[in-house]
Amino acid sequence: MTEERLIISRKTNNKFFLMIAVGVVLLIAGIIFMAAGGGAEHHAEGGHGEAAAAGHEAASWTKRLFVNLWLNNVYFTGIALIGTFFVAVQYVAYAGWSVLIKRIPMALNYYLPVGGVVMLLVFLFGGHDIFHWTHEYLYDVNHPEYDPIIAGKSGYLNFWFFVIRMIIYFALWIGFSMWLRKESMNEDLNGGTNYYHKSIRISAIFLVIFGITSSTSAWDWVLSIDTHWFSTMFGWYVFASWWVSGLAAITLTVIILKQNGYLKMVNSNHLHDLGKFVFAFSIFWTYIWFSQFLLYWYANIPEESIYFIERLGGNEGHFAWIFFMNLVVNFVLPFLVLMTRDAKRQMIMLKIVTIAILIGHWFDFYLMMMPGTLRTDAGLGFIEIGTALIFLGVFLLTFTKGLTKTSLVPVNHPFLEESVHHHV
């Protein structure tokens, strides 16, 4: 089989740069509105009641900016990482059906180096704005703000250990992503099955590392925002959200490439399998969501239920609409739309659902982070939209660059023929 190269036109690249430019303009406009103390960007004065007791004051524009940078970077880093995870799962499962689309998840992880740099910089400069536990006085017994619960977690939640963990995560993720990519490219050049068997071994090691780091990074980057609260299911919950978003991104990319005349050998059978993945793991995400919610709801212990109260009735009901929208967009919509066999084979249906899921799970991360950081100062204004557009533009630039680096079809993969003749 001949290789198939993706060519990204200057026009397409310019669209991505335009997206970033629009994002920057909106972001600056939002900052000016907030700095002026009025306009659409400013929301109800925060820092009252429980928030004030926890040492929260009305959020400044810098705090809102840092929280948004963190939110978007965690979201897109997760999607990039899922690219490597998807490929590793296919190798370990000896999967044949996915060979034709394998290069798409493989290119997602080109964002990881950007994600690593942004994550480190935002934490170094904005850590105090995002994480309550970073304040030194919480650990000083003689200080009036001393917090024995947070002080008890200082063995794990301390500045240097946090930074070292972050660097280790990205070093491992980027290292294994590049390693798998290199083996796949060598297979294209030289053929044979050696590279395939080596990739299986690499993938098996990566999956063990991913199993640990996907949970610990979720504790570090998301769970520790609400420092007092804990959930033994949280690693799974963040993974489920990342995984569904990653599957949606892969499926949407396959459809867009197919509609632009690429991936000629991909047919409705491959789309059907991708649709089954998206359908099944939307239900899996809901299962994790419900299991976590139900346990806290029926136990009704104040220090546990506070997390959901803040998202439902607390904070003046500020987040309640997102709480319910989250369930509708991320569960009800994919469940009802993709239930039939035909829907999973139709590009238009898959396109609608995958775009909705990608937006829905961005809101899922929004709901995980905003109540613990910005409280009632959180909004959905120019700053949020601007930051999201900038990250989306950068992500698409790195992703499409990755796609152009090599053939879209792994020409010497031993299971290529099986994928071409795949039928479900």
Is 424 among the domain residues?
A: no
Residue 65 located in a structural domain: yes
- Please check the confidence at residue 141 and state whether its pLDDT lies above 70: yes
* Model pLDDT for residues 43-69, shown as the tens digit of each residue: 433 333 333 334 445 678 999 999 999
* 197 part of a folded domain: yes
Interval 196-247: pLDDT, tens: 999 999 999 999 999 999 999 999 999 999 999 989 999 999 999 999 999 9
- Residue 272 domain-assigned? yes
42 located within any domain: no
Asked if residue 163 belongs to a domain, the reply is yes
d(CA 116, CA 160): 16
List the domain range (segments joined by +) for residue 111.
Answer: 10-34+60-410
Q: In the predicted model, what is the mean pLDDT of the chain?
A: 92
Tell whether the model's pLDDT for residue 155 goes beyond 50.
Answer: yes
pLDDT tens digits, one per residue of 260-281: 999 999 999 999 999 999 999 9
**Residue 1 pLDDT class (50, 70, 90 cuts):** low
Q: How many domains are there within the chain?
A: 1
Check residue 57 and give its pLDDT: 57
Structural domain contains residue 54 = no
In this model, does residue 316 exceed pLDDT 90? no
The Cα–Cα gap between 108 and 256 comes to: 15
Other Cβ atoms less than 10 A from the Cβ of 299: the count is 9
pLDDT at 14: 96
Q: 351-400 pLDDT, tens per residue?
A: 999 999 999 999 999 999 999 999 888 889 999 999 999 999 999 999 99
Which residue in 265, 204, 252 sits closest to 410, CA to CA?
265
pLDDT category at 16 given cuts 50, 70, 90 is: very high
Asked whether residue 55 is domain-assigned, the answer is: no
- For the cut 50, the answer to whether the pLDDT of residue 282 exceeds it is yes
Which pairs with CB-CB distance under 8 Å and at least 24 residues apart come from 301-305? 303/228, 303/229, 304/229
